[in-house]
């Protein structure tokens, strides 16, 4: 799932609530299509919707999954003194911050911003290494400390990864430079303290939570808000759901229905809310049931395709969570491109569901570390 656009300066919403604009970039799929390389890439890398670029890409073991073939949302941060700017994915499916560095000679580092520690007088080096494996890529590097600025928040002495290698070619085609993980510290590679934990420890946010609004149809206006909830981005009530595992933002779903019939997750299931994954991902059989129920069929490269002529009349898919129905209309889960229409549901080989951007665009999402809960409300 992934990933120019003109980038704007980061701005503060209020003294206690810090809003960072997010941008939708051209996806890796679109870039590969424009260059006539998509078919060759898909033959070498079969369709894998769980390949998160950790939400890009990361996750230790079962880390975050990102749909490398679609859009993702990124924002601008700066690292060092004087500041060096980078486009990063704000990823609730992973916990590490990393950016390319001048030490990296891999192909993806040749066309992205690289951090130069010699140009920052606040940088502190370490002897610690970091390695993160993603579904379609990976990074290895070293850990260092420096000042990280996000909007009006100045996060001092933040540990982050400086990539030395980024194997493969996929990261070469994405619009963002690095990843800023927002999951729990328990899944952070090399035990690095996540950015939001450092914010909380330094008292930089008035509330120990952050929230996401993701715009639709390539429109501007997507934001991540640190330290507050902005009521202008949602309507109705916030439904709070307890976190069941402090790793990813994991919750429990009751079941999934189409036209009133249970088609997946019939006995309850685990799910994570993941801003770094483009699609809604689930177990193979359950996803096959959903695809069949909505009228999608499997395409040549493994994606599920949809007849564009019937896309708007396809049934709603409802995720029942903590006793509350969260419904996705077909306009939310069908992607329409020049090459045709495809489904926003993807399959994985384990039982962990991933509620990615397809879901989050419809529901304003709040990640409350203070109370270990996720809040969902109808997006405005």
3-state secondary structure (DSSP) of residue 301:
coil
Non-local CB neighbours of 152 within 8 Å, separated by 6+ positions: 10, 11, 12, 18
- Per residue in 286-308, pLDDT tens? 999 999 999 999 877 777 999 99
Nearest 5 degrees, angle CA 235-CA 240-CA 241? Answer: 135
- Return the higher-pLDDT residue of 138 and 275: 275
12 pLDDT exceeds 60?
A: no
Q: Are strands 249-253 and 334-337 parallel, antiparallel or unpaired?
A: unpaired
59 pLDDT exceeds 90?
A: no
DSSP string computed for 262-300: EEE-TT-EEEEE-TT-SSEEEEHHHHHHHHHHHT-EE-T
If we measure between CA atoms, which residue out of 32, 146, 157, 22 comes closest to residue 79? 146
Question: What is the H or E stretch that residue 200 is in?
Answer: helix 195-201
- CA dist 241 and 243 (Å) reads 7
Which residues are part of the catalytic machinery? Answer: 91, 274
pLDDT band at 40 (very low <50, low <70, confident <90, very high): low
Mean pLDDT in residue range 34-46: 54
Non-local CB neighbours of 44 within 8 Å, separated by 6+ positions: none
The answer to whether the CB of 333 falls within 8 A of the CB of 357 is: no
If we measure between CA atoms, which residue out of 84, 158, 77 comes closest to residue 120? 84
Partners of 115 in beta bridges:
101
- CA dist 108 and 20 (Å) reads 26
From 80-84, 151-155, 168-172, 292-296, the region with the lowest mean pLDDT? 168-172
- pLDDT on residue 338: 77
Alpha-carbon distances of 229 from 44, 111, 241, 291, rounded to whole Å: 43, 36, 16, 34
- CA dist 292 and 233 (Å) reads 33
2 pLDDT exceeds 60?
A: no
252 pLDDT exceeds 50?
A: yes
Instruction: Enter the pTM of the model.
Output: 0.86
- Per residue in 66-109, pLDDT tens? 223 346 788 999 999 999 999 999 999 999 999 999 999 999 99
Q: What are the chain's domains?
A: 18-213 (2.40.70.10), 232-379 (2.40.70.10)
Non-local CB neighbours of 379 within 8 Å, separated by 6+ positions: 213, 214, 233, 234, 235, 361, 362, 363, 364
- pLDDT on residue 78: 98
248 pLDDT exceeds 80?
A: yes
- pLDDT on residue 168: 82
- CA dist 231 and 371 (Å) reads 19
Q: What letter would DSSP give residue 28?
A: H
- CA dist 185 and 96 (Å) reads 9
Residue with tokens 């903590």: 322
Q: Phi/psi at 316 (nearest 5 deg)? A: -75, 150
Q: What is the mean pLDDT of the chain?
A: 85
**From the centroid of its chain, how far is CA 152?**
22
């Amino acid at each position: 799932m992934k990933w120019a656009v003109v980038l704007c300066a980061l701005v503060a919403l209020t003294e206690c609530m810090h809003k960072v604009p997010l941008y939708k970039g051209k996806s890796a799929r679109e870039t590969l299509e424009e260059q006539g390389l998509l078919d060759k890439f898909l033959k070498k890398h079969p369709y894998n919707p769980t390949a998160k670029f950790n939400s890009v890409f990361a996750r230790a073991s079962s880390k975050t999954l990102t749909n490398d073939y679609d859009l993702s949302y990124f924002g601008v941060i700066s690292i060092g003194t004087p500041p060096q700017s980078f486009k990063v994915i704000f990823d609730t499916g992973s916990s590490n911050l990393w950016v390319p560095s001048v030490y990296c000679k891999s192909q993806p580092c040749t066309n992205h911003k690289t951090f130069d520690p010699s140009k920052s007088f606040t940088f502190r080096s370490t002897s610690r290494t970091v390695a993160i494996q993603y579904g379609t890529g990976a990074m290895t590097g070293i850990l260092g400390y420096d000042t990280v600025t996000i909007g009006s928040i100045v996060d001092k002495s933040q540990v982050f990864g400086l990539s030395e290698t980024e194997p493969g070619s996929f990261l070469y085609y994405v619009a963002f430079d690095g990843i800023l993980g927002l999951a729990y510290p328990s899944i952070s590679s090399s035990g690095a303290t996540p950015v939001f934990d450092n914010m909380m420890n330094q008292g930089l946010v008035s509330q120990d939570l952050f929230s996401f609004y993701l715009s639709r149809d390539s429109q501007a206006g997507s934001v991540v808000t640190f330290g507050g909830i902005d009521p202008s981005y949602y309507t109705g009530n916030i439904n709070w759901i307890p976190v069941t595992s402090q790793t990813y933002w994991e919750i429990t779903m009751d079941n999934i229905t189409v036209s009133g019939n249970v088609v997946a997750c019939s006995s309850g299931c685990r799910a994570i809310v993941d801003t770094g994954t483009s699609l809604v991902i689930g177990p193979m059989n359950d996803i096959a049931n959903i695809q069949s129920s909505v009228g999608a069929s499997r395409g040549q490269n493994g994606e599920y395709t949809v007849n564009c002529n019937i896309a708007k009349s396809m049934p709603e898919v409802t995720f029942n969570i903590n006793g509350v129905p969260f419904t996705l209309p077909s306009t939310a889960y069908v992607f329409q491109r020049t090459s045709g229409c495809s489904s926003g549901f993807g399959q994985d080989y384990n039982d962990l569901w991933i509620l990615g951007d397809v879901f989050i665009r419809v529901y304003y999402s709040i990640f409350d570390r203070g109370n270990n809960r996720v809040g969902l409300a109808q997006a405005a």
